[in-house]
């Protein structure tokens, strides 16, 4: 009797294992590095160049304001000993306010750049997603994952769809 239960259990386990293997054999998982694709497509390169130009412009303006503030501080430091207490305190407050305004401007510029980057990259990523949907259906991928440094530790190179995504994107696929 006990042999019967054991043989039944082994038969069920074997059937389950074989059906799981069959299901796994049909599972196809692909990977794509969207960040790499974004910077290697023609539109992505153009977007990056546009963002860099904006960033450089904002940085240049910030550098000029910082240089001006530095000059004012040096001027104040050189005159500090000769100033009356109330005038000295007033100038210190003015310098502190200008420094705070510069810091706030820096934070605003960073936020603006992040918003600009999102605006510029969103349509590119959406188009890439349309291409990946098409690739998934055409090539019968069960799942396509985004490869990022923190989530995929190892994968066969043959599973990486990034080069094909870049090629198809640059060829004009996925446009509405």
In a domain, 141, yes or no: yes
In a domain, 176, yes or no: no
Vertex 53: Cα angle to 69 and 100 (nearest 5): 25
With pLDDT > 90 as the criterion, what percentage of the chain qualifies? 72
Average predicted confidence (pLDDT) for the chain: 87
What HEC string does the chain produce? CHHHHHHHHHHHHHHHHHHHHHHHHHCCEEEECHHHHHHHCHHHHHHHHHHHHHHHHHHHHHHHHHHHHHHHHHHHHHHHHHCCHHHHHHHHHHHHHHHHHHHHHHHHHHHHHHHHHHHHHHHHHHHHHHHHHHHHHHCCCCEEEECCCCCCCCCCHHHECHHHHHHHHHCCCCCC
Structural domain tally of the chain?
1
In a domain, 29, yes or no: yes
In a domain, 114, yes or no: yes
In a domain, 15, yes or no: yes
Q: Which domain holds residue 87?
A: 2-170
What is the pTM for the complete model shown? 0.73
pLDDT tens profile 82-115: 989 999 999 999 999 999 999 999 999 999 999 9
In a domain, 175, yes or no: no
In a domain, 17, yes or no: yes
């Amino acid at each position: 009797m006990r042999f019967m239960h054991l043989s039944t259990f082994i038969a069920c386990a074997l059937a389950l294992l074989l059906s799981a293997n069959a299901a796994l054999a049909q599972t196809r998982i692909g990977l794509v590095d969207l960040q790499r694709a974004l910077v290697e497509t023609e539109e992505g390169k153009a977007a990056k160049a546009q963002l860099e130009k904006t960033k450089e412009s904002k940085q240049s303006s910030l550098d000029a304001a910082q240089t001006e503030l530095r000059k004012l501080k040096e001027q104040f430091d050189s005159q500090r000993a000769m100033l009356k207490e109330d005038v000295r305190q007033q100038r210190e407050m003015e310098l502190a306010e200008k420094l705070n305004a510069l810091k706030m401007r820096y934070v605003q510029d960073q936020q603006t750049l992040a918003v600009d980057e999102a605006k510029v990259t969103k349509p590119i990523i959406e188009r890439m997603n349309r291409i990946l949907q098409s690739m998934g259906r055409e090539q019968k991928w069960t799942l396509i994952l985004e490869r990022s440094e923190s989530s995929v530790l190892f994968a066969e190179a043959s599973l990486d769809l990034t080069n094909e995504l870049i090629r198809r994107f640059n060829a004009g696929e996925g446009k509405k």
